[in-house]
Amino acid sequence: MAEARGQQLTGWDAATWRTAAGDPTLRSTVVGVCLLDSTPSWERLHARVERLTCLVPVLRQRPIRGLFGVASPRMATDPDFDLNLHLRRMRLAGDGSWSELLDEARRLSLTDFDRDRPLWEMVLVEGVEGGRSALLLKLHHSIADGQATVLIGLSLVELGVDPNPDEPPAPPPPTAADITQQAVSLADISDNMRRARTALERAGEVVADLARGTVTDPVRTWTSALSTLASVGRFAAVPDGPLSPLMTGRGTTYRFAAFDMPFASLREAAKRRDRSVNDAFMAAVGLGLERYHVRHSTVVDELRFNVPISLRGDAGDRSGQASNAVTIARFTLPVAGLTIDERMDSAHAEVERWRKEPALRWADPLAEVSWLVPVPLLAQAARASDVTTSNVPGPPIPLYVAGARIVGMYPLVATIGAAVNITMVTYDGSAFIGISADERAVPDVHELVADLRSGFATVTGGAVGGEDPLVPPGAADGTPKARAVRGEATPAG
């Protein structure tokens, strides 16, 4: 019975669920668009996804809730799991253009989940121009962060056109059982009491450590304690509002856009300055956003960034699992009138400072405390951010899905309160950059994309792919769009 009652969402996962359910502007979906060079075998794809759901148990788990509604849901295996309710195929009705494909991805992202079934969907989109297709994977952010999404995908893909040789068989499907709301409620009460007991024990240990330290080394003990309290204050502080005087509106809808570029150019730009790829990525984003403000005759000195800080590799993390293993750092970065070196330096300094914040060790407990904070206040904090950036390393080699090669891997993440979300996934020598822009904050998303492409071109000193990856590089208007050629790109304008 304990297995049937599942496990309660806790920490960051629970906070993500609660805010997404409580405010439509905090809709929390992750959509991955895998552009394929052809149409995969439907039968093979169906079998691969069936296997995937056995390898990744959360894909067969549904949220179940108790009678009182005062606890986060539990994730338990769905006794009525039906793969055909989550996996489907469709054909684009128009000309199969990139914009038509993005419209389908947007519609998928803005449509809420059936919260009585597992929190994911997958759609094979046929009829993409040039004989291509696309695989859209949608996940609720409460069950997977960006890295977990990549890990899920790696259990689906193959190494060549033919099935993987000597691939071990998948485990059998997990067993499931019906469970009453009363049983769920009792399990919630038991879990909450256990967590409260653990919290009290932890608090007692902290008090005891303070008492011992006060006797043996009072200066060091209280300096550390006050430093941690100050760090928690910085972590939990609620800003007044966004810093951009331009991107101020917030709504319940957003638009998607994407482009790609050779990953080597971004990596080399960072290496020349002894900085990380993420430093170069954030510098390019900052420069692009500055240029977007200048385009609108607006000067902005600094912007507030949300940056996921990975906790994978820390003691007690959940690496390799389909779950969140991140916390969010929120800080301001200067964007006006800086050199490329200064942009990378400031991004590097802020991220490193946050990695050393004592509050990061308290990320999950602080997320638990968020249950005491009204959702409108949490939404106010989320909407005070100007941009969320995320950099997710992906596989460096070409991969296949049911006989079709993946030629593009575009991450499209809900804005979750910010004006813009810009996420990068690296794959097979390219950096794929997905953009989500709140329609009230950024009514002219194509202009924003042009400025972001310009920012990346300036930082790397190289070429950046166009906004439509299905257009052959250098093709003029009216030229038939046969196929996108990997590794080629056009200068950003």
**Confidence bin at 317 (pLDDT 50/70/90):** very low
Residue 38 or residue 168, greater confidence: 38
The rounded radius of gyration (Å) of the Cα atoms in the chain is 23
64-88 pLDDT, tens per residue? 888 776 667 888 999 999 999 999 9
Residue 237 forms beta bridges with which residues? Answer: none
Contact 290, 452 (CB under 8 A): no
Instruction: For residue 284, tell me if it sits in a domain.
Output: yes
Residue 133, pLDDT score: 98
pLDDT in tens, 232-247: 666 666 677 899 999 9
More confident residue, 147 or 215: 215
Bridge partners of residue 88, in order along the sequence:
123
Does residue 476 register a pLDDT over 50?
A: no
Q: What is the pLDDT of residues 112-136, one digit of tens each?
A: 899 899 999 999 999 999 999 999 9
Tell me the three state secondary structure of residue 432.
Answer: strand
Provide the token pair at 212: 């011992």
Q: What is the pLDDT of residue 16?
A: 79
How far apart, in whole angstroms, are the C-alpha atoms of residue 412 and residue 112?
16
Number of domains present in the structure of the chain? 1
- The per-residue pLDDT for 180 is 83
The arithmetic mean of pLDDT across residues 457-475, rounded, is: 87
pLDDT given for residue 186 in this prediction:
86
**Structural domain that includes position 336:** 254-394+418-460
What confidence category does residue 492 fall into, taking pLDDT thresholds of 50, 70 and 90?
Answer: very low
Identify the pLDDT of residue 361: 67
| Gap between the Cα atoms of 288 and 454, Å rounded | 6
* φ/ψ (deg, to 5) at 274: 55, 45
State the average pLDDT over residues 309-323: 49
- Return the CATH number at 427: 3.30.559.30
Sign of CA dihedral 289, 293, 295, 299: negative
250 is written with which tokens? Answer: 């917030």
Task: Quote the pLDDT of residue 319.
Answer: 38
Q: Report which residue type is found at 478.
A: G
Q: What pLDDT score was predicted for residue 279? A: 97
Instruction: State the pLDDT at residue 347.
Output: 96
36 or 179: which leads in pLDDT: 36
Interatomic CA distance for residues 224 and 216, integer angstroms:
14
> What is the number of other CB atoms lying within 10 angstroms of the CB of residue 348?
20
Phi-psi region of 274 (alpha: psi -120 to 50; beta: other; left: phi over 0): left
Per the structure block, which two tokens stand in for 166? Answer: 């000597």
Interval 326-346 mean pLDDT: 91
Q: Tell me if 372 is assigned to some domain.
A: yes
* Across 459-479, average pLDDT: 77
Determine the Cα–Cα distance for residues 236 and 343; give it in Å rounded to an integer: 26
E strands of 275-361, at which residues? 302-310, 326-334
CA dist 311 and 318 (Å) reads: 9
CA-to-CA distance for 379 and 22, rounded, in angstroms?
9
Q: Are the beta carbons of 305 and 384 closer than 8 angstroms?
A: no
Question: Contact 152/52 with Cβ under 8 angstroms?
Answer: yes
Structure tokens at 41: 């075998």
**Is 270 inside any structural domain?**
yes
282-292 exposure pattern, b = at least 16 Cβ within 10 A, e = fewer: bbbbbbbbbbb
Is 67 among the domain residues? no
The DSSP secondary-structure symbol of 173 reads: P
Q: Cα–Cα distance between 201 and 209 in angstroms, integer? A: 12
Reply yes or no on whether the pLDDT at 201 is more than 50.
yes
Please tell me which residue, 199 or 489, carries the higher pLDDT value.
199
Task: Enter the pTM of the model.
Answer: 0.87
Q: Which range is most confident: 94-103, 160-169, 201-210, 480-489?
A: 94-103
- The rounded mean pLDDT for the chain is 85
Residue 315 is assigned to a structural domain of this protein: yes
Instruction: Tell me how far apart the alpha carbons of residues 238 and 241 are, in angstroms, rounded to a whole number.
Output: 9
Range list of β-strands (E), 321-480:
326-334, 387-393, 400-401, 404-413, 420-427, 430-438
Mean pLDDT, to the nearest integer, of 439-456?
97
> What is the structure's pLDDT at 19?
81
CB neighbour class for 388 (10 Å; exposed up to 12, middle 13-18, buried from 19): buried
Q: For residue range 341-378, what is the model confidence (pLDDT) as tens digits?
A: 999 999 999 998 888 777 666 666 666 666 666 777 77
Name, in order, each residue with C-beta under 8 angstroms of 380's C-beta and a sequence gap of 6 or more: 238
Neighbours of 237 (CB within 10 A): 10
**386 within some domain:** yes
Q: What is the mean pLDDT of residues 210-231?
A: 79
Q: Could you give the angle at the alpha carbon of 278 between the alpha carbons of 9 and 486, nearest 5°?
A: 100
Please give the distance of CA 446 from its chain centroid, rounded to a whole number: 22
Percent of the chain, pLDDT > 70? 85
Q: Do the domain assignments include residue 362?
A: yes
Is residue 289 assigned to a domain? yes
Reported as a single tens digit per residue, the pLDDT across 380-432 is: 888 889 999 999 999 999 999 999 999 999 999 999 999 999 999 999 999 99
